[in-house]
Amino acid sequence: MQYSPGTCAALALVTLVACADPSARVFDVTPEEIFSASVQTTTLLSGPYPDLAVTGFQDTVRISWWIGTGSPCYAFGAGAAARFDTLVATVVANEAPAECTAVVAGFAYTLTVTDVVPGLRTLRLMHEIVGRSDTSLVTAAVRPLGGP
């Protein structure tokens, strides 16, 4: 089974498989459920940076926050999967090959996850930044989703 780069990032945590290559990969281990995810961004060259906001309605979860990068030249993707009672949502920033002015930059984003199954109690939000020379994958936040 092949997954997109954003899904790859979500699976890296869920299946404990390293995902250094941002291209699509094949995994032997499959998480319990994979959801559709998309992300929209806005460049923030200075503060204020938005607070984390998580909202849900029926089978859709929206996560709004920000991710910091070293330059404004990134393309974004997203992935989401369930592991036990946790929704693992990942925002992936891939450094663009074009030359850019090196300025400290952040991106406000809204990550939308659809087709979410009921019963998920926790959100684990991941930020993956894929640079030309290294990749970092960190847990940005862990929050309760609420509901039974």
Enclosing domain of residue 136? 2-144
State the pairing for strand pair 122-130/86-95: parallel
Structure confidence at residue 32 (pLDDT) = 67
Count of structural domains, the chain: 1
pLDDT digits (tens, 9 = 90+) for 87-116: 999 999 998 877 776 666 789 999 999 999
pLDDT digits (tens, 9 = 90+) for 15-30: 222 233 333 333 333 4
Structure confidence at residue 77 (pLDDT) = 94
* Residue 16 in tokens: 């404990």
Q: Edge-to-edge, what's the strand order for the sheet holding 122-130?
A: 53-57, 60-69, 105-114, 33-44, 74-83, 86-95, 122-130, 135-144
Q: Give the whole-number percent of the chain exceeding pLDDT 90.
A: 36
**pLDDT(1) > 90:** no
pTM for the full model?
0.72
On average, the pLDDT of the chain sits at 76
Report the alpha-carbon distance of residue 129 to residue 34 in Å, rounded: 21
Report the alpha-carbon distance of residue 89 to residue 13 in Å, rounded: 10
Tell me how crowded residue 111 is: count the other CB atoms within 10 A of its CB. Answer: 25
